[in-house]
Amino acid sequence: MKTDTKVLKLVKKPESGSEAEAASAEAKAATSDFKGAAPSTQAAAPAPKKDSREGSKSVVVTKLVPQTNAQPAKAASQPTRLAPAVVNSGEHHGLSREQLISIYRTMYLSRKIDDKEIQLKGQNKIFFQISGAGHEAVLVAAGMVLKPAYDWFYPYYRDRALCLQIGMTPLEQLLSAVGAEKDPNSHGRQMPSHWGHKKLNIVSQSSPTGTQLLQAVGCAEAGYRIKLIKELKNRIQNFHADEVVYVSLGEGTTSEGECWEALNTACNLKLPVLFLLEDNGYAISVPVEVQTPGGDASRLLENFPNLHIERCDGTDVLESYAAVRRAVQHCRQGQGPALVHAKVIRPYSHSLSDDERLYRPDEERAADSERDPIKRFGAFLIDDGIIDQDDLQKIKDAADREVNEAADQALASPQPPIETATLYVYSPDVDPCGKQFDTEDNAQLSGNPGTMVDLINRCLHTEMARDPRIVAFGEDVADCSRDAYLETVKGKGGVFKVTANLQRKFGGARVFNSPLAEANIVGRAIGMATRGLKPVVEIQFFDYIWPAMHQIRNELALIRWRSGNDWKAPMVVRVPIGGYLKGGAVYHSQSGVSTFTQIPGLRVVYPSNALDANGLLRTAIRCDDPVLFLEHKHLYRQAYNKSQYPPDDYMIPLGKAKTVREGTDLSIITYGALVQRSVVAAKQAEQQGISVEIIDLRSLAPYDWKAIERSVKKTGKVIVAHEDSLSFGYGAEIAARIAGDLFEFLDAPVRRVAALDTFVAYAPRLEDVILPQATDVGKVIQELYSY
């Protein structure tokens, strides 16, 4: 029976010599092994051919060249029959007739949901639409090979068909489109096509391009480390020895640095990550040859060790199925990551906010339409005698009805109640501000006094002994990455020695070095945290935290809220911060805490002395939220903030300030290095009869408003002192709230002492004038007292 589809000739590119013969033999062997295999399990297949240049690398290439007419726009109107796909008639890689028909149904269903959303957007019933059209074939193929609720999934926004194939329903996807409370992807908090499903192991996806890649690597790395840490074998749930982590991306995303960081670590550790590169040729309007040298990202990766590469026509289901199956087998066998580079099409614009006619000529768009995977596969099923036109139409009609009914249900589904807007910014289960985290009073101290470095190190040792889920990593964090040297070297243990001897005590599976890549550190840690590990990572200097900003701001702080508490990533990011170093200069003295304290979902802690650092870090590790733990470099080894060692359960709750000095005339609200400078200034003022009270906030998000309120009501005058720049610094929020909420108790304007609105210089004279000193605090004390 004739169909209304276009001809596509599939031409294998000629190869020469032994490489061509090997590729042909491998393809035949792989095809024969697929016969009779169920799609949800791994069939036996030959091991990937070893490349002569790299013993553990394999590249399998099938070149499929679509034949188009010289004038594709005219050819599009000529009804012709589709040529058979890459296998001979009757050979379907072990897939049964029912499975082949089911594949078509899922592909068609995916396209119809896209079309329904486009219709609803035109009717102003939904508010955003981005489609997976043209990607359906390779995505359904991937879903056939992978295992829902067993493997792990980090899809990107084109992956509608994959999500349908592994168990998400049309109703669930349309609930997301209308922003319904019952939407399992985000409960109405994210745009449509931002996939997430707790029961299926689809981890919440966000909008930033490529951030999911490092998290997927961290997810796989969690499994890798669970295997190595014997104490965890019976403690971590939903872990399988041969699990695979799927992550997808578009060809534009390969331009992101985090893409390469993810591939680096996946290959170094031989992690079971399946990278599906869905290459439709355009990143919005930017074509692939502008994005990528040579226009082919997988070519650039051919020398990555342990990386198995497959290339396929992603609009051909059977070819895609064979390619993905080989790639997944490589991962399940513990041979390392795999990349499937699938050439697909984008028959619709990037999203409904885009009009591809502005940058794509009609001829190119018509050529793409000839490769439409749904038309191709429908014609193949008919040509191969698997189904006739009438039965195929019945499948379409049934899918149309299902999508229309699901859309009606979704539109009738309630929106989230307005009172839920602030739910799940932080953990609803563990309150780090609560009494259970307050063991500070009457704690018995013992031993010789130690510095802040000593007491942080002790906390890390005791907490890692208590909880085998804790892993510590970062740049230079380990004692020595080459274990064979540990017997002959003293060991690094961090550039400030804060993590000294952790690797020696707990082993390289739990304490290890990272690449020099801050996003890599945080992104991997997020993936580990979603699997139940407790990462305590280090960013070597606050000045270099900025490459990780996407991961911190858009991923770490948001994953719980954007998923409606389905996913979380409790972890600690330790960061040396601050100036007063005499030589720290511009890039070792930064102190921009206000950039992080204004991020909902992120706890920010900033101790000023050794004892507080120990108790606050223990609370940070044991709480259920992500914590940015700031350690002032100047305070690491100061004699004035030393302390004896507290017991192993010593904790200070977040949001509990400390009154460092009682006073009656005015209050100083401060933290970090300004605490000691304020104490010096207060002692000098006392000699002139001025009584100054000093409040050390200790944690900045949350902060102790009650302590501030008590002090201001007591003295009537207040100074906010901090190391941040004056303009837009952290103290501006405190000063504004005091002025707004406590105005009637004030006897003078709120004053601030802060750094100049410039950068910290190398020359000591300049550094002294740029950063606030005790003399600066003293001057404002005099002025405010005299007001």
How far apart (Å, rounded) are the C-alpha atoms in residues 459 and 42? 45
Angle in degrees, 0-180, between the axes of helices 452-466 and 610-622, rounded to the nearest 10? 30
User: Which is the catalytic residue, given 92, 135, 308, 588?
Assistant: 588
How far apart (Å, rounded) are the C-alpha atoms in residues 405 and 726? 58
Is the omega angle on the peptide bond into residue 702 within 30 degrees of 0, that is, cis? yes
The arrangement of strands across the sheet holding 511-513 comes to 511-513, 470-474, 534-538, 572-577, 627-632, 603-605, 699-701
Strands 273-279 vs 245-250: parallel, antiparallel or unpaired: parallel
| CA separation, residue 685 to residues 357, 417, 639, 659, 691 (Å) | 72, 54, 23, 18, 7
Site of tokens 């401060």: 670
HSE-up (13 A, CA, CB side) for residue 83? 11
Site of tokens 């892993």: 471
> Closest by alpha carbon to 719, among 761, 683, 675, 687?
675
How far apart (Å, rounded) are the C-alpha atoms in residues 174 and 403? 9
Site of tokens 């997810």: 219
Q: Which bin fits 736, alpha (ψ -120 to 50), beta or left (φ > 0)?
A: alpha
Spatial contact of 561 and 698, defined as CB atoms under 8 Å apart: no
First to last CA, the chain: 95
Active-site residue, 588 included: yes
Structure tokens at 244: 């695979």
Spatial contact of 664 and 714, defined as CB atoms under 8 Å apart: yes
Structure tokens at 386: 């698997």
> Closest by alpha carbon to 565, among 528, 522, 530?
530
- Buried b / exposed e over 507-531, threshold 16 CB at 10 Å, is ebbbbbbbeebbbbbbbbbbbbbbb
How far apart (Å, rounded) are the C-alpha atoms in residues 210 and 346? 19
How far apart (Å, rounded) are the C-alpha atoms in residues 520 and 532? 19
In degrees, rounded to 5, the angle at the alpha carbon of residue 286 between the alpha carbons of residues 282 and 287 is 55
Close Cβ partners of 744 (under 8 Å, ≥ 6 residues apart):
none
DSSP state letter for 145: H
Spatial contact of 225 and 531, defined as CB atoms under 8 Å apart: no
Spatial contact of 167 and 148, defined as CB atoms under 8 Å apart: yes
Close Cβ partners of 484 (under 8 Å, ≥ 6 residues apart):
none
Helix (H) or strand (E) holding 152: strand 152-154
Residue 764, classified by CB atoms within 10 Å of its CB into exposed (0-12), middle (13-18) or buried (19+), is exposed
Where are any strands of DSSP class E within 8-103?
Answer: 58-61
Grouping H, G, I as helix, E, B as strand and the rest as coil, residue 292 is coil
Spatial contact of 571 and 534, defined as CB atoms under 8 Å apart: yes
Helix (H) or strand (E) holding 524: helix 518-530
Strands 286-287 vs 338-343: parallel, antiparallel or unpaired: unpaired
Torsion of CA 258, 262, 265, 266, to 10 degrees: -170
Tell me the chain's radius of gyration from C-alpha atoms: 30
Task: Provide the annotated active-site residues.
Answer: 588
